[in-house]
Chain A
Amino acid sequence: MNPQEMKPQREAWYRSKTFKRFRRNPLAIVGSVLLLGFVAVAFFAPAITAPQLAELRTARPCLRDLGIKKDEALSALRNPLNPVFWKATLAPPPTCYEIPRDGYSPLPKPPSEKHPLGVSGGSYDILYGLAWGTRTAFYVGFLVVGISLAIGIVIGGLSGFIGGTVDNLIMRITDVMLSFPGLVFVMIVSVIFGSGLTTVMLALALIRWAGYARFFRGDILRTKAQEFVDAARAIGASPLRVFLKHVFPNAIGTLLILASMDVGSIVLTAAGFSFLGLGAPVGYADWGQMISFARGYILGTAQGTPFDFWYVWIYPSVMLVLFGLAWNLLGDAVRDALDPKS
C-alpha cells in the first residue's frame, strides 16, 4: 500500500456532521438567504442608487471623487466592464456615504418616481440611505468584531497560557467589564473623545473583548487537558511550542465561528447610538441615524396621525431588524450544530 494513502485524511468541512446539522436546520437556511440578500444590496449599492447619484445635485462630490460626470453616472455605475463600476463597488470615496438631499425642506415626501422610497426630513433620499447603510452596517459589524476579537484572543490567550495570579487578575477585570452596562461605557467614551461613528466603534470594541477573552481562556484550559498536549510535552516540546503549535490552533476554531455571529448584535447596538445622536452624524448613510429623523414626527405631535410619514422610519427599522435577525438565526443554528448534545 502506498504510504501516502495511509495518512489519515482530513474530513472536508462541508461533509462534516456539524455542517450537515446546520444545513438541515430550516432557520439556518432562512438566515443565510436573508444575509445573502444584504450582501447583494451592499455590493450593488452604487448600481442600485445610480439614478439618485446622477440626478441629485448634492451627490456631485461623490461623482467627482469617482471621476465621472453626471451624464455618465447611470451607464458607468451599471456596467461591470467599466472600471468606475469596480471603483465604486470595491473602494468608494467617503463622500459617497453622505446621503444626497433633494432640497432642504424639513417635511418628508412620500415615495415618487424620482425617490422610490420617499425622502425623509431634510429631503434625504431614503433608498440611497438604505442601500449605502447596508455597507455601513457590514463595515461597523466586521470592524468591531475584528478589533475586539484580536484583543480578546491576546488577553484570553495570555490568561490561559500563563495562568496563576495573572489569570486571576485578568478574569476579575473581565468580570467588571461584563457586568458594566455597555451603553453607559459608550456614553463616557463619547463625552471624552467626542461623539461619532468611530468613537462608538472603538468603545464597543473596548467593552466586547472581555466576553471573547473569557470564552477563549475556557477553550484553552479544556484543550490543555487533552492527551495530545501531554504527549507533546512528554517528547520535550517547550511550553511556548506546545501552546502555539498544539493548544492555540485547536482552541481557537469555535471562538472564531461564534464571534463572527456577533456582527448582527453589534450593528443593532451601534444603530441605537446613532439614533441617540452619539454615532453617525446627520445625513450619513446609517440606518440608526435615518430612524432618528422620525423622532420629531412620532413623539409629541404624532397623536392621531402617526403613519403620515411611515416611510421615514418603517423602511430603515425593518432593514435593521432583518439584518439582526439574519445574523441571529445563523448564530443560533451554528451554536446548535456545534453542540454535540443536539
Chain B
Amino acid sequence: MLNFIVRRLLQIPVVLFVLSLIIMGLMQLLSPEQRAAAFVTSDKQIENLDLIIEKYHLREGFFVQYKLWAGEVIRGNLGFSRISKEPVLTTIQKRFPASMELALAAFVPIVLVGVWLGTQAATHRDGLLDQVLRVVAIVGWSLPTFVVAIWLVAWVYGGLGWFGIGRLPGSLLIELAGSDFRKYTGLFTVDGLLNGRLDIALEALKRLVLPAAALVIVVSAGIMRVMRSSMLDELGKDYVRTARAKGLAEKTVVYKHARRNALIPVITMAGPMLGRMIGGIVVIELIFNFPGLGEWAAGAALQLDVTTLLAFVMLIGLIMAVANLLVDVAYVVVDPRIRYE
C-alpha cells in the first residue's frame, strides 16, 4: 500500500508537467506583451514590459520560453497577479483557506445526503418515496449552480434575512485585524474555537450554511442517482439472499452488507463530482461574495489576467491529482479485497 502511494505521489509532478506543457503551448497563441505579464513581480515592472520581453526572450520559440518559465516556477516565482496586485503565491496562501473551508463544509453533507437518500430510494424501490426522490434528483440535476445560489441569496438571505454572505461581517474583520487573533489554519471556524472566540466561529459557520446548501442541492443529486442504482444491483445479488435466508434483520442486511459494497461506484464517481464541485465553488464564491480562490480566478478570466489563471489551473491540476490518489486509497478502505501490489 505504502509502495503504491509513493509511486502515485511520484506521478503527480509528471501530470503537472504535462498540464503545464499543454497550457504553455496554448499560450503561444498570445502576443509577447501579454505573456510578459507572467514574469512581472511588482506593479512598477508592468511599465517596462519591453525590457521584460527582451530579458526573458519572449519573442523566441516554445522550448526556450518553457525552460525559462519552469525555472522561475521551480524557484518559487509563480508570477504577479494583476487583479490582486500582489505575487500569485501570496494570494493563493491568503485565499486557499477560504475555499478549503467552503469545500469541507459542503463535502460532508453532499456525501451524507447523497448516500442516505440513494439508499432510501433503493430500499423503497418503485414505492412512493422512490418516485418522489427520483423527481427530486432530476430537478436537482437540472438546476444550474448559479440559479440555485441566486434563489437562495434572494429568498433566504434577502427575503427572510437569515444567515449571511461573505466570510465574516466587516466589523468583526476589522476587529480581528487589530487584535492578537492567531491564524492557525486560516479556517475561521477552527481558528475561532482555538482562540476561544466562540462568536467568530459561530459567525463564520452561519455564513457557510447558504453556499454549502447551494452546493449540496446541485451535487448530491448525482451521487444519489449512482447510489440508488448500485444499491439495487447489490440487493439483487446472491450474498444478500443468503444473508436474508439465514434470518438476519433487514437493517443489518441493507446497512452492513449491501451498502458497503454499493459504495464502490460512488467512490468511482468522486473524481467527476469533485470537478463539478470546483466549478460550483467558483460560481458560488462570486455570488456569495466569498473571498476564495474561485472568486479570484473568475475575476482573472474576466480581466484576461493570464498569470493568475495559469497558476490557478496548475493548482486545480494538483488538487485533482491528489484527489484521485485519495479515491484509490478509499477503495481499499471500503473494499479490503482490493490490493495495489
Q: Which A residues are closer than 8 A to B by beta carbons?
A: 27, 176, 178-184, 187-193, 195, 264, 268-269, 271-272, 275-278, 288, 291, 294-295, 298-300, 302-307, 313, 317, 320-321, 324-325, 327-329, 332
Q: How far is the CA of A299 from the CA of B154 in the complex (A)?
A: 8
The one of B18, B157, B165, B272 in contact with A179, judged by C-beta atoms closer than 8 angstroms, is B272
Given A183-B278, A268-B144, A324-B142: A299 touches B153 (CB 8 Å cut-off): yes
Q: Is B151 part of the contact surface with A, judged by Cβ < 8 Å?
A: yes
Complex Cα gap A195–B155 (Å): 31
Establish whether residues B278 and A184, one from each chain, have CB atoms under 8 Å apart when the complex forms: yes
Selected from B30, B141, B298, the residue in CB contact (under 8 A) with A328 is B141
In the docked arrangement, what's the CA distance between A307 and B320, Å? 39
Is B23 part of the binding interface, using a Cβ–Cβ cutoff of 8 Å?
Answer: yes
From DSSP, what is the main secondary structure of chain A's interface residues? helix
Residues of A within 8 A of B312 (CB): 184, 187
Q: How far is the CB of A242 from chain B (nearest CB, A)?
A: 33
Q: Which residues of B contact A (CB under 8 A)?
A: 15, 18, 23, 26-27, 29-30, 134-135, 138-139, 141-147, 150-151, 153-155, 157-159, 161, 165, 271-272, 275-276, 278-279, 282-283, 286-287, 289, 297-298, 300-302, 304-306, 309, 312-313, 316-317, 320, 324
Contact sample, A vs B, 5 pairs, CB 8 Å cutoff: A182-B279, A191-B300, A191-B301, A306-B155, A325-B142
State how many angstroms separate the Cβ of B19 from the closest Cβ of chain A: 8
User: What chain B residues lie within 8 Å of A295 (beta carbons)?
Assistant: 287
Closest 5 CB pairs of A and B: A306-B158, A183-B279, A324-B142, A187-B301, A302-B158
Given the interface contacts A324-B142, A328-B138, does A294 sit within 8 Å of B275 by beta carbon? no
Q: Is the CB of B272 within 8 A of A304?
A: no
Contacts of A332 in B (CB 8 A): 138
User: In the complex, which residues of chain B have a beta carbon less than 8 angstroms from the beta carbon of A317?
Assistant: 147, 150-151
Are A291 and B29 in contact, with the CB atoms below 8 A? no
Taken together as a complex, chains A and B put the C-alpha atoms of A248 and B144 apart, in Å, by 35
Q: Would you call B159 and A307 a contact (CB within 8 A)? A: yes
A192 lies within 8 A of B138 (CB): no
A272–B155 contact, CB under 8 A?
no
Chain B: minimal CB distance from A37 (Å) = 15
| Given A179-B271, A272-B283, A288-B146: 10 more A-B contacts, CB < 8 Å | A176-B15, A179-B275, A180-B316, A181-B279, A192-B30, A272-B145, A277-B302, A303-B157, A324-B144, A325-B138
- A278 touching B301 in the complex, CB below 8 Å, given contacts A268-B144, A291-B147: yes
A299 to B157, CA, bound (A): 10
Q: What residues of chain B lie closer than 8 Å to A324, measured between beta carbons?
A: 142-144
Partner of A180, one of B139, B142, B317: B317
Is A178's CB under 8 angstroms from B147's CB? no
Q: Complex Cα distance A264/B144, Å?
A: 11
Taking a contact as CB atoms under 8 Å apart, the answer to whether A299 and B165 are in contact is: yes
Q: How far is the CA of A195 from the CA of B142 in the complex (A)?
A: 25
**Residue of A whose beta carbon sits closest to that of B305:** A191
In the bound complex, residues from chain B placing their C-beta under 8 Å from that of A300 are 289
Q: Is the CB of B279 within 8 A of A276?
A: no
For B302, the closest partner residue in chain A by CB is A277
Q: Is the CB of B143 within 8 A of A276?
A: no
Contact A271:B144 (CB < 8 A) given known A298-B158, A313-B154: yes
The closest CB in chain A to the CB of B165 belongs to: A299
Q: Roughly how many angstroms separate A176 CA and B287 CA in the complex, as a whole number?
A: 29
Given A191-B301, A291-B150, A299-B153, A180 and B320 contact (CB-CB distance below 8 Å): yes
For A326, the closest partner residue in chain B by CB is B142
| Bound CA–CA A183/B155 (angstroms) | 26
Q: Give complex CA distance A178, B29 in Å.
A: 24
Residue contact A299 to B289, C-beta cutoff 8 Å = yes
